[in-house]
Amino acid sequence: MAAGTTDNLSVVLHGPGDLRLENYPIREPGPNEVQLKMHSVGICGSDVHYWQHGRIGDFVVKKPMVLGHEASGTVVKVGASVKHLLPGDRVAIEPGVPRELDEFCKTGRYNLSPTIFFCATPPDDGNLSRFYNHNADFCYKLPHNVTFEEGALIEPLSVGLYACRRGEVTLGSRVLVCGAGPIGIVTLLMAKAMGASQVIVTDMISSRLEKAKECGATLTLQVNKESPQEVASKIESLLGNKPDITIECSGAQSSIQTGIYATRSGGTVVLVGIGNEMATVPLVHAAVREVDLRGVFRYCNTWPLAISMLASKLVNVKPLVTHRFPLEKAHEAFEVSSKGIGLKVMLKCDPNDQNP
């Protein structure tokens, strides 16, 4: 390894269960790139899944891959064509970058582009490292009153924002959120910020429902072994009405069934959680009541709005971070995240700045 390239400590996945801390070369940024000194990177459920299984569906780790895609950092170098960023700028990173101007980019739905680059999705490296280069157009300057950790949390927050957009959450909406993990909580925050009058959150774990209450849930319901129809009935009783929109964040078959049964006729079920490829659901029940089923794949066009919402204090994501580790303790951080302890585990990449 060439001189000067040994200070880029990175969290690299080599295969199932094989996570290593390695020094990666620091390359010069391309014309449209910025080089970032990374600060805060959150651990996502997908990072943990790749670590444990080496794959998610058709995305298989076939060569060493740097993990991490919920991230923020400071610009240290800019490519020759970059005009809107300067060294010293603090930025949040949108991890999905289109590689070509295809039909999906032209219609503003670039997240659906089949050739998109996405951090820490095989074969693309992520940004859980000291230094990282990224397309400058997908780095967004952070206002002075938005912290690095808030910047890193824009990625999961964007999932909630995009899910609420897909569900058309608006003033007065009654919303059911299934699942109170990190994505369920950010969906709750966004639904409230976008005008939902009532948000009921379901989960099997009481501690997660307590966190949902802290974050503004109108009602919570702990589910156990009840049938989906029974859960739907309880939801209607608690709300006084069927919810207009259900946002399903667990991927569990029973939860998808509950969402269809629970949602009012003419309403919408948004599918965010990823479970088994095949699921048995009451489709006829949805069809005859005109309950729309809408998919969600990541997000698009969310970073500017999320940043403005954070800057104006319309949403508060700070309570989501329950654990912090220096980059050197990545193994411990992944262990904690895999056990579901707390909510969001944050890795601090800058050895000289471990602050939020």
User: Where do you find CATH 3.90.180.10 in the chain?
Assistant: 9-153+317-348
> What is the b/e burial string over 2-41, where b = at least 16 CB atoms within 10 angstroms of the residue's CB?
eeeeeebbbbbbebeeebeeeebebeebeebbbbbbbbbb
Euclidean distance between CA atoms 242 and 265, whole angstroms:
9
CATH of domain 159-295: 3.40.50.720
Q: What is the pLDDT of residue 74?
A: 98
Better-predicted residue by pLDDT, 102 or 342: 102
Mean pLDDT, the chain, as a whole number?
96
The neighbour count for residue 194, using CB atoms within 10 Å, is 21
Residue 354 is predicted with a pLDDT of 87
CATH of 9-153+317-348, one of 3.90.180.10, 3.40.50.620, 3.10.450.750, 3.30.1550.10: 3.90.180.10
Q: What is the mean pLDDT of residues 97-108?
A: 97
Confidence band, pLDDT 50/70/90 cuts, at residue 57: confident
Is 80 exceeded by the pLDDT of residue 2? no
Q: Please give the DSSP secondary-structure letter assigned to residue 273.
A: S
CATH 3.40.50.720 residue window(s) in the chain: 159-295
Q: What's the Cα-to-Cα distance from 225 to each of 100, 204, 230, 255, rounded to whole Å? A: 47, 9, 10, 12
330-347 pLDDT, tens digit each: 999 999 999 988 899 999
Instruction: Extract the tokens encoding 131.
Output: 């230094």
What's the rounded Cα separation, in Å, for the pair 131 and 37? 5
Q: Please answer whether residues 175 and 338 qualify as being in contact, where contact means their C-beta atoms are separated by less than 8 angstroms.
A: no
Residues in a beta bridge with 21: 11
Strand 292-295 and strand 268-271: pairing?
Answer: parallel
60, pLDDT greater than 90 = yes
Q: H or E stretch including 188?
A: helix 182-193
Per-residue pLDDT tens digits for 147-173: 999 999 999 999 999 999 999 999 999
